[in-house]
Every structure is written in structure tokens, then in C-alpha cells.
Amino acid sequence: MKTLGKIALAVLGLLMAAVWLVILRLKDVPPVALVTYGAVLVAFLGGVLWPGRLGRRRALLFLGVPAGLGTLALYFAVVFYVTDAPVLLGAVAVACLLAALAGGVRRGRGGAGPSRRALLTGGAGILLGALAGLSTGPVARHRSEIEARWRRETQAALRAPGGRRPVADGRVRVFPLHVGDTVVPYGQFYGGLDGWEGLPGYVRTLVDKAQITVPVHAYLIDHPRHGLMLVDTGVNGAQAHDHDGYYRHNLASRLLTERNEYRLTPEQDLRVRVARLGYDLKDVTTVFLTHVHEDHAGGLRHLAHARVVLDRRDWEQGTLYAHTFEEVQDALVFPAYGSGPFHAFPESHDHFGDGSVVLLPTPGHSPGHLCVALRMDGGTALFLGDTLYTLPHLAVGQVRQMTVGGQATADQLKAAERVRRTLAADPAMAPLFAHDNTAYQTEAVATAFREGLPEADGFRRLRDHLGGVLTPDWRLRPGHAPAFAPGEGVGRVEFR
């Protein structure tokens, strides 16, 4: 039994070490340092459980001390953030007080008073507890300074010349909004057919450093009857510039994401993007959230006044960071999908009851992912969210993003097929993506929606572009297959 207990402890210790090493790799610790440090951890674990001739005391001294110092050094070098200070000081304070109490109890049983060691340990606990309390103020001020600096930068961007005035002529307008960028592994974006699926795929997202930068797009809708609306909201300044502080509510999320996963310039801030088009974010009445992932929901902190429409399954099963929704959780609206079929979709939700905005269930990427079909003069805009990342992803047999695995992957592929059949059935319908990094977004969509009015000619040109990339049976034409091109730090995508 003793041997089995040691084996169990060894397995548990190795698992914890592996998780810690993955976190450190995610934080860009060099592989050589990780291998050296990992070897010390394994040797220390073996030396404590099976000391042999070395002896447990020597194992603690010659292996435990380097392992402990290395852990502290790596933590403070790549994981520590100022918001950790009160928590760490408080934890050490509690440990000291408990040690002092235990020492005092042992002495008391022998009829003696507390030892000098217990008094010193208890005093250290009280001092550290006081420091933990005092540190909360500077930490709060530090985060406030970050927020104030971002506010000043966005205000300067708002005042910059070159803004436009909205046109009220009774027509539906759509404006693509580039509201940040996200840094992702190339395989997460394009490697769904190369093993990036399910849990193994997620692990690879943590350790794979072949990364690319992809855009985050939201869409502003100016509707003459239903007012100002948004499809998704992008990221916010705190996510990009105060990453660790923003995720203070969820330590696991902070540890398992990269500090630079989001990038946002003042000009890309949702409030600035909307204002530069001549609108005020305060006038947005409805937000259609394709799903609850952070790069689509970050801007909700500026939309407490709006109704937020999302699938109930996503809210109940897919919400990872509930604090992102604190400002809007009392204004959530869940579609019922009781409006009958919509092209290839057996279920739909006619949101306003007039056919102007139809919501389509496309689960898979998240439990309740949805797409939005908007009727415009001359055609229909189909906002795909993350059902498919880019135009080439419509060739799901050749290009596929990472999928969740199991039934979720099957659901996502079914949703993609329904999207393809719907596009085939309506030649005046154009897909609009949340992360397209191809010429379709930067050239075709940007041109067609420059004034918000693609009209029939614009929709036709978008479908012509689609036909130049994909064959009628949804295969990629030559010159449009993605490939990773290494660069200094973050790589890029080439199409061959």
C-alpha cells in the first residue's frame, strides 16, 4: 500500500508539473529553460518519494531549494501581475498565523507558553496581513491609471478630423467595423483537418507558437424602422491593455491565455469606430451576439442600455467569463426559433416579425452559436460569426478551423453545409465573416460596404469574388489555399 501511495503521489505530482510547464510555455518561457526546470522538478519529486542513498533531507536541500527558487522566479517573471499582490500577501499571512497557532497549541499541551518561533511567525502573519490590506489601494490605482490612459487616447481619437455624417434616407445600411485583432495559433485558425480538434486541439493552442494575427470584425446596422443595431461587439480596451487585471475574476482564464492575445488601437475602439461614422453608441438599441466568446462580447461593457439577443444555450452552457455580461445581463433576449424554415435551415427566428432580420441556429463552435440574415436593398447580408472564419473556410473539406470535437464538430459541419446550401439558393446573398483575413474582407467587402449600401451591384460583385475563390461545388480554386509563413514573432498567412 505504501508503494501504491507513492506511485499515486508521483502521478499527481507529474500531472501538476505538466500543467505548470504548459502554462509557462504559454507565457513564452524558452524551451531550454523549461526543460532544465522540468528536470529539476522531476528529480525533486523522485528524491522526496524515493530518497535512497541521497536521503530526504539532502533531496530537499539540493533539489527542493532550486525547484522552489525556480518556481518563484518563473512565477514573478511571467505570471505575476499587480492584482496578485494582495492575494499572495494574504495567503502567506494566513499560513503564518496558522503555523503560529499550531505551534502555540503544541506548547500549550505541555504546560508551557508560546515559543519565540510561534510569536515571530504570528507577528509576521499580522504584518503581512496588514500589508495585504494596504496593497489593495495601490493595485486599484494602477488599474485606474491604465483605464484613464486608454480613455484619454480614445477621446483623442474621437476628436481627430475626418469623421462623417450619417445619411437618413430610409435605406438599410451596414458598416463593417474592424474592432481589434487577436493572436491565435495558425492551426487553431486553419488546422481543423490536421488534428486540431477537441481536447488535443485545445492543448495545442496552449503550446503551439506558430501564431498569426487575425482581425476581429463587428457590424453596425442602421435600419430605418428598427434603429441602430450591432452584430457582435469586438474586444474592449481592458482586454487588450489590462489583460491580467481584466481576468482577475477568473485566475484559470488568466493563466491559460496570453497577455497579448488581443490587440486594440484607440482608433479601433468600438465607441470610436461608431462615432467616426457619425453615430453614437448610446443610440444602439439591439445587439445580436453570434456567440458569447470574449472577442465578440468585449464591447458589451459600453452597451448597458441595449437589448442583447443571443441563443439561450450559449448563455446557459457557453458563458466563460460572466463578468463581461454584468452590464447587460438584465436585458438579454433569447430567440425561440419558431418562425419556420429559412432556405436550408429548418428553424429560424424572425426577430421583428417583418422578415428584415432573421436569426439562424448554427451550434457547434459554441453550444448556441447563431447567424444573422439581414434583408437589404438588392440582397441579403448573412453574418456568420465564427460558424466559418473566412471565405476559404466554406471549402470545409479542404480548410477547417479547430472544432470542439464529438457532436459539436458534427453540428458545426452541419451548420456550414446549411450555410452553403442557403448561399447557393440565393445568389443575391453575401456572407460576412467575423475574422476574415483575406482579400474578400479587405477589398471586396470594404469596397461594397464603403457607404453602407452595397445594393444589387455590390452583392453581385461579392458573389463574383466568392466564385473566383470557390468552385460551384465548394472547392478552392488554385491560389487560395492557406499556408503558414513564419516571421519574427508572429507569422502570416499566404495563399497558394
Task: State pLDDT tens for residues 85-108.
Answer: 898 899 999 988 888 888 766 655
What is residue 208's three-state secondary structure?
coil
What backbone torsions phi and psi does residue 398 show, to the nearest 5 degrees? Answer: -120, -35
Q: Are 426 and 432 in contact (CB under 8 A)?
A: no
Q: Longest C-alpha distance within the chain, in Å?
A: 94
Does residue 143 carry a pLDDT above 80?
yes
Among 494, 484, 495, CA closest to 184: 484
Look at 20-29, 67-76, 263-272, 349-358 and tell me which has the smallest mean pLDDT: 20-29
Output the CA torsion sign for 315, 316, 318, 319: positive
pLDDT band at 279; cut points 50, 70, 90: very high
The pTM score is 0.89
CATH superfamily membership of 169-495: Ribonuclease Z/Hydroxyacylglutathione hydrolase-like (3.60.15.10)
Q: Are 215 and 435 in contact (CB under 8 A)?
A: yes
Strands 307-309 and 284-288: parallel
Task: State pLDDT tens for residues 232-243.
Answer: 999 999 999 998
Does residue 270 carry a pLDDT above 90?
yes
Among 349, 338, 345, CA closest to 288: 349
pLDDT band at 402; cut points 50, 70, 90: very high
Instruction: Say how many Å lie between the first and final Cα of the chain, rounded.
Output: 60
* Cα gap 496→493, rounded to integer Å: 10
pLDDT band at 488; cut points 50, 70, 90: confident
Q: What is the pLDDT of residue 177?
A: 98
Count of CA atoms in the C-beta half-sphere (13 A) of 284: 29
* Cα gap 434→182, rounded to integer Å: 11
* Cα gap 475→396, rounded to integer Å: 9
Does residue 353 carry a pLDDT above 90?
yes
Q: What is the pLDDT of residue 3?
A: 79
Q: Which residue intervals of 27-83 are DSSP H helices?
A: 31-49, 56-59, 65-74
Grid coordinates representing 26? 504559454
Task: State pLDDT tens for residues 160-202.
Answer: 888 888 888 889 999 999 999 999 999 999 999 999 999 999 8
Among 98, 76, 102, CA closest to 88: 76
* Cα gap 106→104, rounded to integer Å: 5
Q: Are 374 and 383 in contact (CB under 8 A)?
A: yes
Task: State pLDDT tens for residues 202-211.
Answer: 888 888 889 9
* Cα gap 194→286, rounded to integer Å: 39
- The percent of the chain in helix, strand and coil, each rounded to the nearest 5, is 50, 15, 30
For the chain, domain boundaries: 2-80, 169-495
Among 263, 272, 258, 212, CA closest to 235: 263
Q: Are 182 and 234 in contact (CB under 8 A)?
A: no
Q: Per DSSP, what are the bridge partners of residue 345?
A: 342
Q: What is the pLDDT of residue 382?
A: 98
Task: State pLDDT tens for residues 101-133.
Answer: 887 666 555 555 567 777 888 888 899 999 999
List Cβ neighbours of 475 (8 Å cut-off, separation of 6 or more). 395, 397, 398
Q: What is the pLDDT of residue 246?
A: 84
